[in-house]
Amino acid sequence: MGALIWLASYPKSGNTWMRSFLHNLFRNSHQPVSINEIDDFCLGASASAWYKRYTSTPPGEMTDEEAARYRLQVQRDFTTVFPDSVFVKTHGYLGEHSGVPLHNMDVTAGAIYIVRNPLDVALSMGPHFGISTDEAIATLANENAGSRGADTHVPEHYGSWSTHVRTWTRVPSPALLVMRYEDMLEKPRKSMKTVAGFLGLNPSADRLERAIKYSSFKVLKAQEQKEGFKERPEVSKAFFREGKRDQWREKLSPDQVRQIIRDHHVQMERFGYIPDDYRDAVPASSEASA
């Protein structure tokens, strides 16, 4: 029986990239692992198949209360999949919902948390969820943000971007590794070596390099174009779109940038996401916006 290692992030912040990297690193193959095999390596916290063991209610009709009733036991069931570490993807904030923790800490060994600039997250969320940029900005600030149940998953609870980041990162711990998406882009070798070290691994330079290469945005996008990606929402034309940083400078209006900063300035400040030329958008009050 293993213990859970959460791969946590707000949606569209690099979770699939991290899962692909780890899958390629552990598999150590001489060709890229298929993106459609990621769930063989990393479980999904909201995957409906695990809940069907305990209820006949269709996932799309499951209420928050019913999902909460089985959540902790389902996550305990995850520990039976592998004898050691069990990686689990989550987009949930770290806290309770419907009176039950969203993550079972009794069977948790640690977590890797990926944070991404919300100015870019807003741009990625729009096409991914089939909503406008303004709607994505509103979602980022919505404390009740989440996804409804569907055939493949039970309801998920994100909270606002600020709440998500704050709840996962406010208490430093040796069992928690916090990674910035932007650092992963700019310094992939250093970043991924840090991830491997956190997991107690010391891969050879060649093995690390292959895992980085095989999980690169270029490779993932090419795989999706060739074979599709089962995690792509029906409303989205492509799961892997740009994979770049600072696109907001060309695609967000000044008013949109200022709104995001007003909504999330506390956590953005912590992670170096407030642009110097938009410092005037930070509210005078230092009270948390999360």
Q: Residue 221: its pLDDT value, please?
A: 76
> Which two three-digit tokens encode residue 38?
């990621």
Q: Is residue 259 part of a domain?
A: no
Average pLDDT of 23-50? 88
Q: Is residue 157 part of a domain?
A: yes
Within 8 A by CB and 6+ apart from 83, the residues are 1, 2
Q: Residue 104: its pLDDT value, please?
A: 98
Between 5 and 285, the more confident residue is 5
Q: Are 87 and 7 in contact (CB under 8 A)?
A: yes
Average pLDDT of 104-132? 93
Q: Is the pLDDT of residue 230 over 70?
A: no
∠ CA 26-216-135, nearest 5°, is 115
Please give the residue range of the domain that contains residue 217.
3-116+143-237
Q: Residue 222: its pLDDT value, please?
A: 78
Categorise residue 202: left if φ over 0, alpha if ψ from -120 to 50, beta otherwise.
beta
Q: Is residue 68 part of a domain?
A: yes
H-type alpha helices, the chain: 15-27, 38-41, 48-51, 64-78, 118-129, 133-140, 161-169, 181-186, 188-198, 205-214, 217-227, 248-251, 254-270
Q: Is residue 181 part of a domain?
A: yes
Give the rounded distance of the alpha carbon of 288 from its chain centre. Answer: 23
Q: Are 97 and 164 in contact (CB under 8 A)?
A: no
Q: Residue 287: its pLDDT value, please?
A: 42
Q: What is the mean pLDDT of the chain?
A: 90
AA identity, residue 44: G
CA–CA distances in Å: residue 142 to residues 65, 133, 136, 163: 20, 14, 10, 9
- Among 245, 220, 242, which residue's Cα sits nearest to residue 231? 220
- The model's confidence at residue 109, banded by pLDDT at 50, 70 and 90, is very high
Average pLDDT of 125-150? 92
Residue in the structure block whose two tokens are 């916290």: 45
- The model's confidence at residue 1, banded by pLDDT at 50, 70 and 90, is low
- Report the distance separating Cα 107 and Cα 3, nearest Å: 5
Between 237 and 269, the more confident residue is 269
- The model's confidence at residue 289, banded by pLDDT at 50, 70 and 90, is very low
| Candidate from 5-14, 143-152, 171-180, 262-271 with smallest mean pLDDT | 143-152
- Report the distance separating Cα 88 and Cα 80, nearest Å: 13
Q: Is residue 272 part of a domain?
A: no
Condensed to tens digits (0 to 9), the pLDDT of residues 64-107 reads: 999 999 999 999 999 999 888 999 999 999 999 999 999 999 99
Q: Is the pLDDT of residue 62 over 80?
A: yes
- The model's confidence at residue 220, banded by pLDDT at 50, 70 and 90, is confident
Q: Is residue 207 part of a domain?
A: yes
Q: Residue 241: its pLDDT value, please?
A: 62
Q: Residue 219: its pLDDT value, please?
A: 82
Between 287 and 195, the more confident residue is 195
Long-range contacts at 225-228 (CB < 8 A, ≥ 24 apart): 227/34, 227/35, 227/36, 228/36
Q: Is residue 107 part of a domain?
A: yes
- Among 92, 81, 94, which residue's Cα sits nearest to residue 15? 92
Residue in the structure block whose two tokens are 């230092």: 286
Burial class (CB in 10 A: 0-12, 13-18, 19+), 68: buried
Q: What percent of the chain has pLDDT over 70?
A: 92
Average pLDDT of 122-140? 91
- Among 197, 165, 194, 175, which residue's Cα sits nearest to residue 265? 165
Condensed to tens digits (0 to 9), the pLDDT of residues 165-185 reads: 999 999 999 999 999 999 999
Q: Is the pLDDT of residue 60 over 90?
A: no
CATH code at 190?
Answer: 3.40.50.300
- Report the distance separating Cα 16 and Cα 233, nearest Å: 14
Number of domains the chain is built from: 1
Q: Is residue 123 part of a domain?
A: no
Between 218 and 203, the more confident residue is 203
